[in-house]
Every structure is written in structure tokens, then in C-alpha cells.
Structure 1
Amino acid sequence: MGKIMIAEDDVKIAQLEQDYLESNGYETKIVGDGAMVIAELKKGGYDLILLDIMLPNCSGYDICRSVREDIDIPILMVTARTEGIDVIRGLGLGADDYITKPFDPSQLVARVRSHLRRYQRLTGGGSGKNTVEHTDKIVAGNVIIEPKTWRVWKDGQEIKLPNREFELLCFMAQNPNIVFSKETLFEKIWGYDYVSDAATVSVHINRIREKIENDLRNPKIIETIWGAGYRFNL
């Protein structure tokens, strides 16, 4: 079913998450110290991480930032903070989704299952259809997108994109010169089973632009059409 890391220093919450996940067939490991999370993840074998923001010795934000540089697995942030700025910050650092405390354990399990299934589809581990079709290569200026190999290149240098960013980029690249609203992109890439909203799209578009555009102040590949949405120029 999958191995889940529970990065949580509240013993009761961690055990609750563990009990529900293991009763649904998942293997779990609890790590309560933020400083130990990254080292444990780099050992490999984890399919998803439930990441508390307020961890001792190393915050969930710092962990998310570091993990996204080397490890590409779904990150589901678990937090008591509900302010929009905290949510946007987490998503901006590469988190896939978030859930706030207190939460319904059955909803947590459903969210974990949804992310794992989507991740397996995106990486070719499942039979479901996704938005990334088997096109050999898409060229936009000095950027090359290879959907089959799940790779992106700029000026001959490979760029690392988390799955959600890659799927969003591929969807737009394979539907060029069409203006998509944030709501449409959110529906296509995230679906309806996420607690985030269309503002998540803007965060991910900005992250993609940081990696592929030559001038962030005047983006040419992914253009903002004010009042309408975004367009991939090809």
C-alpha cells in the first residue's frame, strides 16, 4: 500500500495518525524531531510524508524546502495554523496539500490515499489516465519538456520540478496558446478532493516561472492574461 512518514512531535496525534493509517494497510514510521526528518527521508523507501509545521529543531517549512531539492514524494502538511499566508507559504515551498488540526482521521486517510494514487499515475505506476500524454518533446524557446521521461531542460541544463509543477507545466504546454483560468487549471490538476483553492495555481505558476523564464518581471513562456488566467505561448 505504501510507507508513510509521520513527522509529528505531539505523541497523541502521531499515534492517532499511525493507528488509522496502519489499520488501512499502510506502513508508518513516526519521527518527532525535525532535525531527524530529512536524514530519515534520504534513507529512501517512503511514499508520502505527513509533515507537521511546528516541529522542534527544524520547522516543517525548512524541511519542505530541503526535501523538494532532492526528494520527490507527496508532502501533506498537517498544521493548526489556518491563516492564508501560512498555507500559501507551505504550498510555495512545494507542499502538495494541507490539513488542519483537529481533523477527521478518516478524512486524513482518504487524503493520503488520493495523493498516493495520483502520484502513482503521474509517475507511471498506475493505469489511470492523466493530463501528460506521451509526446516525445515540447520546445518553447530555450526550454525543452519531455513528458515521457518526466524531464525539463533549460539551455541544456536539466531543471528539477516536483510532480505537481511538472503536471501543470505539461498540461499547459500540451494545450498551447489557450487561456486557462485559475479555476480551470485547479480543477484539471488538483481535482475536487483538495482543501486548497484556485490561489494554489498562482503559487505553482510562480514557482515554475522561477525555473524556466529568463525574466520573471516579463515572462514570455507562461503569460498572465489579466482578468482571464494564464497562457502557455508556443
Structure 2
Amino acid sequence: MKNNRLYAQFSTGYRAPQTTELFRLQAGQTIAELDAENINSIELGLRGQVESLFYDVTLFSMHKDNFIFQDTNRQNISNGETSHRGIELAINYQWQYFYVAANGTFAKHRYDTNLTLSRINIQDNEIDTAPEHIGSVQLGLRSDLGEFVELEWVHQGNCYINPENSSEYSGHNLLNLRTGIRLSERLDIGIRVSNLTDEDYAERDDFGFGSYRYFVGEPRTVYATVQYQY
């Protein structure tokens, strides 16, 4: 276990109500008696190096009290509770000039109380707009001179987009390409292609003002950079 480490952490924190939550009151609401949000979290992990492989695995459990939200009457209240439990993984493997890296999270995010976000009981429902799994993988080649090419796969899993868990976004997978070339000791150029396959996807999705909303992600986009050192 010389190059491996077991670790644990407990943390607690809070978030005071924001100005807009306290003073931007809705119709019929004369005062917002909001408490600070509190969160407690426990983590247990194993991190280490085995020859050319680095890894980090973490189990986590978090609980949030006094969750501030707008109820069905669009009034700000703070009596919600949510839980968040899952596992995070990060690995990195280097072999001569080649490397592969990956990271991901698998988690369950749930409402622990029947919040008045809906006219039905949503206790134990999954939190809307919170995917169960997200992650990415990078595969690349880098020379001693700093020249490189890297292909990246980005994944977002499915998630519900309303508190009732009756409507779902199926998630998406994107490919990104990056490369950089050194033309001289002072001059470097780079090219980055986002959404290489021109996938249709939503950067964010939710339910608001009586309808489903999808915030469309960027189509295939090419960026070029030039860096010169004096």
C-alpha cells in the first residue's frame, strides 16, 4: 500500500438566503421567513498509483436541510430536504507518448420530503435536471516538444425534467477534438473542434412557466488559437 492511500472526510456548510429570495416576493407573500440551507457530507475514498496507472475512487453521501425553493404558488419557502449518494471515479494511464484519462460520477439525487413543488407527492422522487451518470474520456498523444492531439468523449446520462418524474431527457454523447503544433520555439498554434459529429443536444432542460424548456447546445464549432512568446 506504499503508493495507495485510503482517506475519509466529513464536511458541513451552509448557504444564506440570497437577496432575490428574501426581497423579490411574489403575489400574496408579504414576508419570506427563510432559513439558511445546511448540508452535511461524508466521503470515503481510495487513491493511488500502480506503475503508470493513477486512480481515485470516492464514495459520498450528502444531505441538505432547509432547501430553498418556489412552491406551486411561486412563493419562496425553505423547508425542503434532499439527499445525494453516489460514487466518483478518476483514472489516468500513461504509456510513452500515449495517454488515456477518464472520470465519471454515478449518483442518486432524491427529494426526501414532499415539497410543494407539485400538486402531487414527490417524496422519494429523483431531483429533476440531475443526471444519474456523467463522465468523459480523453485519448491522446503528446510529444516531448509539446505537440499533441486529443479526442474526447463527453457523456451526460438521462434525467427527469420535472419534479413529478413524468418527463425525461434521454441524455447525450459528444465528441471533441483538440490539437496543438509548435512551429518554432516562440510560436504555437492550436485547433479545437467542439461537437465533432454535430449532435443535437440540450445544455440544460427543465419545466418552467407551464412548458418544457430546452436550452440548445452549440453545433459543431471550430476554434483556432495562436500563441507567440517574446
The TM-score normalised by the length of structure 2 is 0.24
Question: Of Structure 1 and Structure 2, which has the larger fraction of its residues in helix?
Answer: 1
Q: Which has the higher contact order (CA 8 A, sep 6+)?
A: 1
Question: Of Structure 1 and Structure 2, which has the larger fraction of its residues in strand?
Answer: 2
Q: Please tell me whether Structure 1 or Structure 2 has the larger radius of gyration of its CA atoms.
A: 2
The TM-score normalised by the length of structure 1 is 0.24
